Amino acid sequence: MTDRTPLLHYRLSSSITDADRLRHAPGTGGRDGSQLRGSSSRTQTPQPQKLSTFFGVVIPTLLSMFSVVVFLRIGFAVGQSGLYQTIAMFIVAYIIIGMTVLSVCAISTNGALDAGGAYYMISRALGPEFGGSIGIMFFLANVCGSALFVLGLVESIMDTFGVPQGPEAGLGSSVQVLPRTYWWELLYGTSILLLCLLVCLVGAHIYAKATFIIFLIVLVALITIFISFFVVKPHEVTVPLLNGTGTTTANFTGFKLATLQENLMGGYTVDYTTGNMMSFATVFAVMFNGCTGIMAGSNMSGDLKTPSYSIPRGTITAVMFTYIIYNLLSVMVACSCDRLLLQRDYSFLRDINVWHPFVTIGVYSSTLSAAMSNLIGASRILYAMARDDLFGKVLAPAKMMSRSGNPWAAVLISWFLVQLVLFSGKLNTIAGIVAIFFMLVYAAMDLACRGPPHLTSDIDLLSLSHSLSRPTFRYFTWHTCVLGIVGCGIMMFLINPIYASASIAFMLFLLVIIHYLSPTSSWGYISQALIFHQVRKYLLMLDVRKDHVKFWRPQVLLMVANPRSSVELIGFVNDIKKSGLYVLGHVELGDLDTLPSDPLQSRYDSWLTLVDKLNIKAFVNLTLADTIRHGVQQLLFISGLGGMRPNTMVLGFYDDCEPQDGLEEFAGIAMDTSLPVEEPRLNFPVLRRTAGRKALSMEDYVAVVSDSVKMLKNVALARYFSDFDRKEVLGRKAVFVDVWPLNLMRPDSINYVDTCSLFLLQLACVLTMVRSWRQARLRLFLCVESGRSVQGPEEKLRQLLRELRIKADIHTVAWDSVVALHWHKQAGRKPEEELELEEEDFVNSFPSNATRISDDYLQAINRMILQQASEPAVRFLYLPRPPADTSLYHTYLRHLDIMTKDLGPTLLIHGVTPVTSTHL
């Protein structure tokens, strides 16, 4: 997508509603012609989006990043890890999020953005597989993050208003009146979450106004904190003992070098809120949650005036500001508070503030804002996934919206899940899980990004696919992406290897599920781009000069005149092609000079839908030609690419059998031949039956066979496959595949090892190698005359089968009465005439024989084949080469018709290239 396209799209859509923007975004429908997905018919009330960079990105990001850490966990980090390690943690954390922010900026400037934040960016950059799996992880991260901030707020409320427990009972102040048990704290958290729910149900604009007021409160609280370090005198602060048996005192010393020296190195101890021993990884997990708010502005992408402008500038501004505040606050805390105070009182900033309520109000405001931010972010992600139908009916309820464009159903679902997470009870308990989820999303965001076009590295996915994306944000390279991915991966496993492994496994599971089950999207699959790039490279490596007969496989071009009457044949050829190339070819009569446009382009989707419905692995190749013969020639010349070209052409037999509608059973309804080519009410292509005069004459039909042989393509003529019922055939106790390797039109030629007969054997063997046909038994029929020895030819044939590693039952058939009807056995023929005919036959294979062979002989051949015990699933017969004399084409086809009449599913096969090898 060019840079100009998203700008045009934005201008066209800037005056429509939030819901309409969601539905008309690139890839979801609208003016770009893509399909509308998940849209409702309800008319939306016009409401232009008004959130600017400051209100829509800077403020939500700042409040989400400050939240719990700046007020409740700065002292925890310094007290447990020391100043050096705390600063190192911030450096590592901000390197990770900094690299991710660069990727977010790049992706957000690569096209028009819509609601969904990181999910929308990743899904449109990497396709639905990665987008859906990462979207779920990001949704869960926001859900857990919202719960984390609610629990942080409850913890702060308990520190201020909670009744002291244990030996401290009865020693609290007059304001400490709230019961402090698990169920009471759960009730407090539920009440706070309900308040967040009410704000989010009203809509994003009320949330933006509320966050601005909260931002002012937090800013004032931060200013008072920094002032307090300078104006508050040193004093003692009461803190609880570690074992909960009483209290002790810790000191706020003011700025002292001794205090700084004491706090420089780490001193890990037990966390007094959870009773767990702390370490670098556990402290980092808690501290990292103060950096996870970088997506808060991106989550509001659907509510911004200009997302591609606001997200980069707003996010970078917020990240730089928080990094400076965190480091300044860490240094001041390390210089003025002894370690005991930092380790035993997470709300110590309130106790050392010039006016205690300032910090209390700041904590309450920031954590409440962060909880709302994560809740509204989770709802937007859930709605975006539901709108894209990645999980079908599972997320269908989340599509519902209010008239003002607020996805209230997604908000309620998100609220319910946050409520479930609140049962965990403690902030530090879920901090690790939240951090891992966010890191996984950040790594995916880095993976979704690519370096500027002048860089040719193959590190990230879009570079691997050689995507032509052109983000306007240039301050990043593939090095930053890799650094972000590596940093996220390392820290995930340092925090908790089990949670990290389980999260990655869950994400991969979702990726596979979406890849196979999700509906086709119109906004691109990274897997398709990667496949294209790799296939192109391997096709160039597939050198036809290195082909060897040992690795031959059938690569089939099946000419389909009417898909309705060819369903069974299409399925059967899909079996005999095994793992080879399979192309469905179709010739449309017409002259492009007389047409306004190519009529085939609009029909490809119908053919591809047919391929999907029949569950076959095939390509489709359509062509426009003045005659069928010329069209087939075109397909034989151009089908395939490089070393992957069809080596075998399959045609339906030329007869007068009434075509059967094989598509009817897939529709579940009767098909009307008067229906147009594409009927919208059907979920698969509806194609006309061929009616009236055939578009191909007998002479042209045989000419097509002759053309294929001249091009060194093997030929198979399929007859009676409209009667072939695959399920019924493969459900039999005994399944037989009959092979007649002798040229039945030349009984004087008893050679079973010519190229054609070997091809016949190989193709039948390939069929029995297919999993569903493995129970089938090959029956090889050896025609003998009573005057000749049977053991010699039979033993030679067995030896040939052993060398070719083909398992088959050999059946000898006495055909004296049949051979007696052949022309070379008839009386009145002179020896020199026979010699002349044989020499001519040697050159042209069939012409003279066609003039001499009798209908009685062909009928006898037909009866002989039908008289064999146990009806086979399919018969393989030897197809003679068409005569060189075109005047004999009609006779040639008539002979084939007589010989195969009423035989059931039959393949007449002519091979022209070696396909078997007896050597390793």
Average pLDDT of the residues in 404-432: 83
Interatomic CA distance for residues 419 and 46, integer angstroms:
33
Q: Which of 165, 172, 175 is nearest to 238 (CA)?
A: 172
Most confident range, picked from 247-261, 667-681, 824-838: 247-261
Q: How far is CA 510 from CA 116, 118, 137, in A?
A: 18, 17, 10
Query: Please, which residues bridge with residue 178 across strands?
Result: 162
Poorest-pLDDT segment among 307-311, 555-559, 617-621? 307-311
Which DSSP helix (H) or strand (E) runs through 237?
A: strand 235-240
pLDDT of 512 over the 50 cut: yes
Q: What's residue 218's pLDDT?
A: 85
Interatomic CA distance for residues 63 and 59, integer angstroms:
6
Interatomic CA distance for residues 751 and 754, integer angstroms:
7
Q: Which of 714, 670, 650, 719 is nearest to 874 (CA)?
A: 719
Q: Residue 595: is it exposed, middle or buried by C-beta count within 10 angstroms (0-12/13-18/19+)?
A: exposed
Interatomic CA distance for residues 461 and 529, integer angstroms:
9
pLDDT of 40 over the 60 cut: no
Q: How far is CA 165 from the centre of its chain?
A: 54
Average pLDDT of the residues in 728-754: 82
Q: Which of 472, 482, 430 is nearest to 452 (CA)?
A: 472
Q: What's residue 918's pLDDT?
A: 55
Rounded mean pLDDT of the chain? Answer: 77
Do β-strands 235-240 and 247-252 pair in parallel, antiparallel, or remain unpaired?
antiparallel
Q: What's residue 879's pLDDT?
A: 93
Residue 49 corresponds to which tokens in the numbers above?
Answer: 């989006």
Do β-strands 874-878 and 736-740 pair in parallel, antiparallel, or remain unpaired?
parallel
Domains of the chain: 55-163+177-517 (1.20.1740.10), 549-665+693-715 (3.40.50.620), 725-825+850-919 (no CATH)
Interatomic CA distance for residues 687 and 684, integer angstroms:
10
Average pLDDT of the residues in 131-150: 85
Interatomic CA distance for residues 763 and 915, integer angstroms:
9
- For residue 874, the SS3 value is strand
pLDDT of 902 over the 50 cut: yes
DSSP state of 821: T
Q: Which of 9, 120, 22, 60 is nearest to 405 (CA)?
A: 22
Q: How far is CA 631 from CA 475, 556, 719, 809, 918, in A?
A: 53, 17, 22, 41, 38
Number of residues assigned to the chain? 920
pLDDT of 773 over the 80 cut: yes
Q: What's residue 793's pLDDT?
A: 76
Poorest-pLDDT segment among 310-314, 625-629, 668-672? 668-672
Q: What's residue 313's pLDDT?
A: 86
Residue 118 confidence class, pLDDT cut points 50, 70, 90: low
pLDDT of 243 over the 70 cut: no
Tokens 């393949």, residue? Answer: 907
Q: What's residue 631's pLDDT?
A: 94
Q: What's residue 359's pLDDT?
A: 82
Q: What is the pLDDT of residues 178-237, one digit of tens each?
A: 887 888 888 999 999 998 888 888 776 777 777 788 888 888 888 998 999 999 888 888
Higher pLDDT, 772 or 836: 772
Average pLDDT of the residues in 581-599: 89
Q: What's residue 673's pLDDT?
A: 40
| Backbone φ and ψ of 679, nearest 5° | -105, 115
Most confident range, picked from 175-189, 282-296, 873-887: 873-887
Q: What's residue 668's pLDDT?
A: 42
Average pLDDT of the residues in 161-167: 67
Average pLDDT of the residues in 643-655: 90
DSSP state of 627: S
Q: What's residue 524's pLDDT?
A: 60
Residue 653 confidence class, pLDDT cut points 50, 70, 90: very high
Interatomic CA distance for residues 62 and 171, integer angstroms:
38
**Are the C-beta atoms of 673 and 688 separated by less than 8 Å?**
yes
Q: Which of 764, 761, 746 is nearest to 861 (CA)?
A: 746
Q: What's residue 619's pLDDT?
A: 92
Interatomic CA distance for residues 829 and 914, integer angstroms:
36
Helical ranges in 456-496 per DSSP H: 461-464, 478-495
pLDDT of 175 over the 50 cut: yes
- For residue 818, the SS3 value is helix
Contacts of 54 (CB under 8 A, 6+ apart): 314
Higher pLDDT, 173 or 165: 165
DSSP state of 623: E
Handedness of CA 124, 126, 132, 137 (dihedral sign): negative
pLDDT of 290 over the 80 cut: no
Tokens 């996984």, residue? Answer: 440
pLDDT of 276 over the 70 cut: yes
Average pLDDT of the residues in 338-354: 85
Residue 330 confidence class, pLDDT cut points 50, 70, 90: very high
Alpha-carbon torsion, ordered 471, 475, 478, 480, to 10 deg? -130
Residue 72 corresponds to which tokens in the numbers above?
Answer: 């409740």
- For residue 843, the SS3 value is helix
Q: What's residue 840's pLDDT?
A: 41
Q: Which of 590, 535, 584 is nearest to 557 (CA)?
A: 584
Type of residue found at 425: G
